[in-house]
């Protein structure tokens, strides 16, 4: 669907060349490239509308952007990009994080035109400052909530002896113990599990090895016999399969997590598979005393800056830290007296 939409929507060659560069050299995923192209196209449309070069009554798919060429892109200056950011903030009401992402896409696009193709005289984004992002603490399950979620699903599995229940329990165990991404979990094949490790393909098609603790190993061992009940095709390689015997889809896992959270009495509106990844990272940092570099490796982050969002400190940790101050036991020898009269 995205490919068909692209052919209608993006109709100037330089954008296609940049997209090819992102795929071939930067190893960006199709989903990421689609988003980057959309970000650039939204700016181009806004600029062209402000300049009176396109009909404002037409939507993007109805507009012919074939006039976008080297000379046209050379007209774009840094002030135009700042004006666009101001528009996104005041008129569209977008968050600073969204505006920063769009600015990053524009910076990449114009850098490609300037440095790789030498098609523009100057890079308008060379001195572009990205909006300061408002860092928010990631939503996650507290330890007691995570235990309640797992206990609810396991209890259901033990009572029903259902393959679906054991499958869902194993999925949740892997999310909460390994910090897997949704796409990574759905891609796991049986052959990817060797001894106490599982090989997953992360962002940018990067392969990494994830270590399995005893809870994960026990859950997988328990689930495998029940998996045979779901398997319709003897050649099915996926670890997690649906009632129909197919590889479990991302949407199915998202739906399952929502249902399981609700049954455990937890807020399913603010939690998702990715929030379970947040939970794993937070619990590792708070209880496992895992340093940030190790946590970076576990989560498969390219930059340690991404990992730093998980190093937030709870109120309990702050209180405990204050209590451990060496001066916490200091006491006055005499009680305070009133001022001399």
Catalytic residues: 181, 203, 274, 277, 301, 310
Cα–Cα distances in Å, from 313 out to 297, 304, 333?
20, 17, 35
3-state SS class at 76: coil
Tokens matching residue 68: 């976008």
Asked whether the beta carbons of 97 and 43 are under 8 A apart, the reply is no
Bridge partner residues of 208 (DSSP): 200
Residue 52 CB burial class (10 angstroms; 0-12, 13-18, ≥19): exposed
Query: What's the count of helices (H) and strands (E) in the chain, helices before strands?
Result: 15, 3
DSSP state string for 255-268: HHHHHHHHHTT--T
End-to-end CA distance of the chain: give it in Å, rounded: 86
User: Which residue has 């190893």 as its token pair?
Assistant: 27
CA-CA distance, 10 to 271, in Å (whole number)? 34
């Amino acid at each position: 669907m995205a490919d068909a939409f692209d052919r209608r929507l993006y109709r100037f060659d330089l954008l296609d060349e940049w997209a090819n560069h992102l795929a071939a050299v930067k190893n960006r995923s199709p989903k990421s490239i689609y988003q980057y192209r959309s970000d650039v196209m939204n700016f181009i449309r806004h600029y062209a509308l402000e300049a009176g070069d396109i009909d404002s009554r037409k939507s993007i798919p109805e507009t012919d952007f074939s006039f976008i060429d080297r000379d046209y892109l050379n007209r774009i200056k840094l002030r135009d990009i700042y004006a666009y950011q101001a528009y996104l903030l005041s008129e569209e009401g977008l968050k600073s994080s969204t505006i920063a992402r769009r600015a990053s896409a524009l910076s990449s696009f114009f850098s490609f035109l300037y440095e790789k193709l030498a098609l523009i005289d100057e890079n308008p984004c060379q001195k572009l400052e990205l909006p300061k992002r408002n860092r928010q603490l990631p939503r996650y399950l507290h330890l007691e909530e995570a235990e309640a979620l797992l206990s609810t699903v396991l209890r259901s599995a033990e009572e029903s002896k259902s393959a679906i229940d054991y499958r869902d329990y194993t999925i949740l165990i892997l999310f909460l113990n390994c910090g897997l991404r949704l796409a990574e979990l759905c891609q796991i094949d049986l052959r990817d599990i060797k001894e106490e490790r599982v090989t997953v393909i992360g962002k940018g098609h990067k392969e990494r090895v994830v270590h399995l603790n005893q809870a994960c190993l026990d859950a997988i061992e328990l689930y495998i016999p029940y998996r045979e009940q779901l398997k319709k095709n003897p050649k099915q390689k996926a670890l997690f399969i649906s009632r129909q015997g197919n590889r479990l889809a991302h949407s199915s896992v998202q739906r399952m997590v929502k249902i399981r959270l609700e049954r455990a009495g937890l807020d399913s509106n603010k939690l998702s598979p990715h929030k379970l990844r947040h939970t794993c990272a937070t619990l590792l940092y708070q209880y496992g005393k895992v340093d940030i570099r190790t946590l970076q490796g576990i989560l498969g982050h390219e930059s340690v800056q991404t990992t730093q969002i998980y190093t937030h400190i709870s109120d309990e940790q702050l209180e405990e830290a204050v209590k451990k101050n060496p001066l916490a036991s200091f006491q006055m020898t005499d009680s305070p007296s009133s001022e001399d009269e």
